[in-house]
Amino acid sequence: MSPALGQNTFKYISGLLALALLAGCAPIPGSPTEPKPSLATSTQNYTQIGGSPVDAVPLSMVPDMSTVDQSDEHRHIFTQHFKVTSVPAVGEAQRGLVELAMGKFDQGNVPDVSAGLENSGELNIRSYLTAVSPNVLGIRTAAYQSVDSVGSNRFLTQWFDTRKGSVLGSRDLFDSADDWADFREFVAQTAASNPLIAPESVTQLEDAWLDSVNFDAQGNATVELDDAAITAGTAQSVVVTVSASNIIPLLSPFGLMARTAGMAPTPRLPAISAVPWGNPEEPEDPAVPAPPSGEEKTVDCTKAKCVALTFDDGPGPKTGKLLYDLKKADAPATFFVVGPNAKTRPELLKRMIAEGHEVGNHTWTHRSLTALSPANIRSEIDRTNEVISAAIDQPATLLRPPYGAHNSTSDRLAQTPVILWDVDTLDWKHKNADKVVSSALSQTRPGSIVLMHDIHSTTVAAVPRILAGLKAKGYTFVTVTELLGKDKLKSGETYLRAPSTAKGSVKNGGKK
Ligand code: NI
């Protein structure tokens, strides 16, 4: 990493930190800026989760871009950020944001374990591609954080000059200090007209609050303001738009390129060493036989010793390898996919169905459903079902709520059975294949539903041994629907494992 890059990275990561620190602080006195005579600008309020003033650009426009997903089920953390093989600065800067936010979240979210309390907070970070050209990448990161049931959204957009491999921020989009000052004034003027924005906050507009600037399809600049930073204690995010005619004269040469890349994204040429989008590590093995056609295998789990392996949060870069191993062992499984990953890798969903697996819904943004409004719960499920349907011609018939967090409202809105688990391998925590194998083998009982995550390479590496070990113990692998019985599953009911059978599995644990 060059010293300049390090400084820039630090500068903009510090910006995010500053935002977090600023939230909730008393207003600092400041003097109002001189108003500009005319403004062709507007403000907008966003209520949709992760809502954006600009449409996300398809990731396929950057052939060597991939996502890095991380989850921590106990602390309610789910993050997704980007890396780009040909531009290492992207992965470094993105990881820096996530690590900083996770560090801060830890400090503010310490449960009183002695009182038997679990963490009540939640951290959800997600990145979106907003601008692409051969020389420019724009990546917007939205972070939702709640502690003690009080949630807030923060936004930050990182700009990358891919010729230099450097990370830039809002200030770099503008030319001189005067141009930046004019931009701030435009934002302040427009913000002042929004009833959700406290008037005093407009008079002391901090540079750090303007750290998420993007460009819409008309070439206007959009500025996303964090909850609680400038807004008057609202749960809504506010977007201020500065018109193209006002913004163009203020932009730096890089800013003009960034505007074009946001307004009319053009694909990056494939890098020479580009990793093809999809499943680079999936082994090719012509020796694996195709499943016998026309021969429906039925298992009676009231008689057989059945287990349902489930994989959440994908599909990810290793899912192709996992499908290969499952097929080799003739082991059907159930995949609870998150919407954006399903949208990115629809061919893997097709393959899951073709190879006898089941696809379930794990929501769009992986937010805890118990913290969302009914409308947002439905939207989380419906958006994900839309991409599942687009891939496999049918919506998911099962829901797994993120973190297993559910209540009567989310169960009712699910409109499908709600699938939890009785075996938690803690694969996300240990990231150790041996530990995943030992917990899966030691905890599984007849009728178990085993929780794993196919976004972790250590989990995928553990699966062949789990399959062999459980098979040696006499288990038959089935999908969740096969395990619980299609006719017995009820919409809105929760299931931890299969009901009791002659083989000694315990009764359905009911609501968790
Ligand atoms: Ni999950």
Mean predicted confidence (pLDDT) in 331-338: 98
Mean predicted confidence (pLDDT) in 134-153: 89
pLDDT in tens, 174-199: 999 999 999 999 998 888 887 777 77
| Confidence at 265, pLDDT banded by 50, 70, 90 | very high
> Ligand 1 (ion): which residues have CB within 5 A?
312-313, 402
Mean predicted confidence (pLDDT) in 237-257: 94
289 vs 334, higher pLDDT? 334
22 vs 351, higher pLDDT? 351
| Per-residue pLDDT, 246 | 96
| Per-residue pLDDT, 74 | 83
Centroid of ligand 1 to alpha carbon of 404 (angstroms):
8
What average pLDDT is seen over the chain? 83
Could you give the percent of the chain with pLDDT greater than 90?
A: 62
Centroid of ligand 1 to alpha carbon of 12 (angstroms):
29
pLDDT in tens, 466-487: 999 999 999 999 999 999 999 9
| Per-residue pLDDT, 403 | 94
Mean predicted confidence (pLDDT) in 350-363: 98
| Confidence at 230, pLDDT banded by 50, 70, 90 | low
| Per-residue pLDDT, 195 | 76
| Per-residue pLDDT, 73 | 83
Centroid of ligand 1 to alpha carbon of 6 (angstroms):
33
Domains, the chain, in order of start with CATH, read 6-263 (3.30.565.40), 306-502 (3.20.20.370)
pTM above 0.85, yes or no: no
Strands (E), 333-447: 334-337, 358-361, 418-419, 423-424
Q: Tell me the residue type at 353.
A: I
Centroid of ligand 1 to alpha carbon of 126 (angstroms):
14
199 vs 217, higher pLDDT? 217
SS3 (DSSP) at 49: coil
| Per-residue pLDDT, 233 | 53
- Give the separation between CA 257 and CA 242, rounded to whole angstroms: 17
- Give the separation between CA 160 and CA 344, rounded to whole angstroms: 22
- Measured CA to CA in angstroms, residue 463 lies from 119, 347, 441, 467 at distances of 30, 21, 11, 6
Centroid of ligand 1 to alpha carbon of 407 (angstroms):
17
For the ranges 142-156, 266-280, 490-504, the lowest mean pLDDT is seen at 266-280
**Quick one: which of 373, 402, 138, 90 has its CA closest to 265?**
138
| Per-residue pLDDT, 148 | 74
Centroid of ligand 1 to alpha carbon of 487 (angstroms):
26
Centroid of ligand 1 to alpha carbon of 483 (angstroms):
21
Q: Is 236 exposed, middle or buried (0-12, 13-18, 19+ CB in 10 A)?
A: middle
Judge contact between 448 and 306, C-beta under 8 A: no
- 39, pLDDT greater than 50: no
Centroid of ligand 1 to alpha carbon of 333 (angstroms):
16
Centroid of ligand 1 to alpha carbon of 106 (angstroms):
19
- 76, pLDDT greater than 80: yes
User: E strand or H helix at 269, and its extent?
Assistant: none
Active site residues: 312, 453
Q: Tell me the residue type at 472.
A: A
Number of DSSP helices (H) and strands (E) in the chain, helices first:
15, 18
Judge contact between 94 and 81, C-beta under 8 A: yes
| Per-residue pLDDT, 97 | 95
Q: Tokens at residue 3, please?
A: 């010293």
269 vs 262, higher pLDDT? 262
